[in-house]
């Protein structure tokens, strides 16, 4: 089972495009189905304080009178995170609205939360599971079963230990997480700072979703 069931697109005013080429609804539907079945994506694992992520401190409370947020300095740094970046984006745009990414919207519909710039409301994602497979791939599974995304990355023993200790991993999904080196950019020039800027731009655009996902170590 793929990451989602591709429904027949609704007829909207304007042209339909794939890779900037005008197409008909049948071609859009076929491409959506193909993308729904493709679950092998690009990915990275890291900790919250990684230079390419810089998620800051985990909030522990809010003063309802002043609005001041309290944190536990240093406690969130070694929280594990896994990034899932799909091979292709599925962009949609309705008249008068900003563009949205269909696969990100799919995760939100299934329990993830949008991950904007600034203060992000990070919660557990009920029913979602992150499985370490016997061959060391990581598989992100949605509540309805099947596989939403699968990545093959070198697994740092410290990261695995942290995932086992906490029992949850922050899983981030989106087409602009700073995982893949952009076309035409030498790998050496895609620095942690460049990756961070890409990630923050994706958050600003609303193209990142995330949640704390239960971790299963199938080894």
Confidence grade of residue 8 (pLDDT, cut at 50, 70, 90):
very low
As a whole number, mean pLDDT of residues 196-216 equals 96
Q: What percent of the chain has pLDDT over 70?
A: 74
Q: What is the mean pLDDT of the chain?
A: 84
24 within a domain of the structure (yes/no)? no
30 within a domain of the structure (yes/no)? no
Q: Which domain holds residue 167?
A: 43-217
199 within a domain of the structure (yes/no)? yes
122 half-sphere exposure, CB direction, 13 A CA radius: 24
| pLDDT reported for residue 169 | 97
Query: Is a pLDDT exceeding 70 seen at residue 19?
Result: no
Which residue spans within the chain are E strands per DSSP? Answer: 16-18, 21-23, 42-47, 59-62, 69-71, 80-85, 91-92, 100-101, 113-114, 124-132, 137-141, 149-152, 168-173, 209-217
191 within a domain of the structure (yes/no)? yes
Confidence grade of residue 80 (pLDDT, cut at 50, 70, 90):
very high
As a whole number, mean pLDDT of residues 149-161 equals 96
12 within a domain of the structure (yes/no)? no
The number of domains in the chain is 1
Quick check: helix, strand or coil at residue 158?
Answer: helix
DSSP state of 57: P
Residue 195: closest CA among 1, 203, 150: 203
pLDDT in tens, 121-145: 888 999 999 999 999 999 999 999 8
167 within a domain of the structure (yes/no)? yes
Q: What percent of the chain has pLDDT over 90?
A: 58
pLDDT in tens, 82-104: 999 998 888 877 788 888 998 99
pLDDT in tens, 168-178: 999 999 999 99
| Torsion over CA: 140, 155, 81, 164 (sign) | positive
| pLDDT reported for residue 161 | 96
Residue 128: closest CA among 156, 108, 151, 98: 108
Could you give the maximum distance between any two Cα atoms of the chain, in Å?
55
As a whole number, mean pLDDT of residues 192-203 equals 96
């Amino acid at each position: 089972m793929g990451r989602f069931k591709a429904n027949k697109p609704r007829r909207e005013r304007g042209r339909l495009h794939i890779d900037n080429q005008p197409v008909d609804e049948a071609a859009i539907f076929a491409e959506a189905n193909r993308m729904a079945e493709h679950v092998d994506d690009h990915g990275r694992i890291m900790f919250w304080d990684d230079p390419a992520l810089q998620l800051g401190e985990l909030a522990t409370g809010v003063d309802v009178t002043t609005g001041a947020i309290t944190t536990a300095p240093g406690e969130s740094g070694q929280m594990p995170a896994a990034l899932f970046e799909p091979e292709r984006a599925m962009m949609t745009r309705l008249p008068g609205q900003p563009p949205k990414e269909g696969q990100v919207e799919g995760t939100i519909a299934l329990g993830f939360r949008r991950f904007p710039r600034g203060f992000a409301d990070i919660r557990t994602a009920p029913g979602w599971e992150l499985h370490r497979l016997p061959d060391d791939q990581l598989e992100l599974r949605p509540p309805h079963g099947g596989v939403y995304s699968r990545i093959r990355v070198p697994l740092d023993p410290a990261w695995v230990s942290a995932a086992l200790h906490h029992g949850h991993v922050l899983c981030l999904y989106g087409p602009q997480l700073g995982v893949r080196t952009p076309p035409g950019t030498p790998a050496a020039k895609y620095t942690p700072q460049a990756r961070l800027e890409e990630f923050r731009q994706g958050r600003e655009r609303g193209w990142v979703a995330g949640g704390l996902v239960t971790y299963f170590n199938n080894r």
